[in-house]
Amino acid sequence: MSACFSGVLQDSHTGDKTEVPFKVELSDRGTLWFKASGYGDCGSADGFGFPVKVEWYEGQLWVLVWGNINSEDPTHKISLSGARESERKENDE
């Protein structure tokens, strides 16, 4: 199953009305890809790259970011295992 969602981002800090179109795709393999207009990755032609990937890999949820369009490898690999709700510490208040 693949799915696609698109929309427009606005500056959440300044309220700037400059709009940045974006697209999110869910691949047949269950990987979520994100792109914004004017941003891409090393291996794709302009307008076709997805610099953010969310995947389930070896039992963990990961976010991979290609923060440098000249790098074939992701510049950031973030495990979200510490963000699991089951990891929340109880307050003793």
Q: How far apart are CA 47 and CA 33, in angstroms?
A: 14
Amino acid at 69: I
Mean pLDDT in residue range 20-37: 93
User: What is the structure's pLDDT at 7?
Assistant: 85
Q: Which two tokens stand for residue 89?
A: 């510490």
Q: Which domain holds residue 36?
A: 3-81
Q: What confidence score (pLDDT) does residue 9 get?
A: 84
Tokens of 52: 């953010």
Is the residue at 14 inside a domain?
Answer: yes
Across the range 43-66, mean pLDDT stands at: 97
| Residue 92 domain flag | no
Residue 56 covered by a domain: yes
- 87 inside domain: no
In the chain, the number of structural domains is 1
Enter the pTM of the model.
Answer: 0.84
Q: Is 30 exposed, middle or buried (0-12, 13-18, 19+ CB in 10 A)?
A: exposed
Torsion of CA 27, 32, 37, 43, to 10 degrees: -70
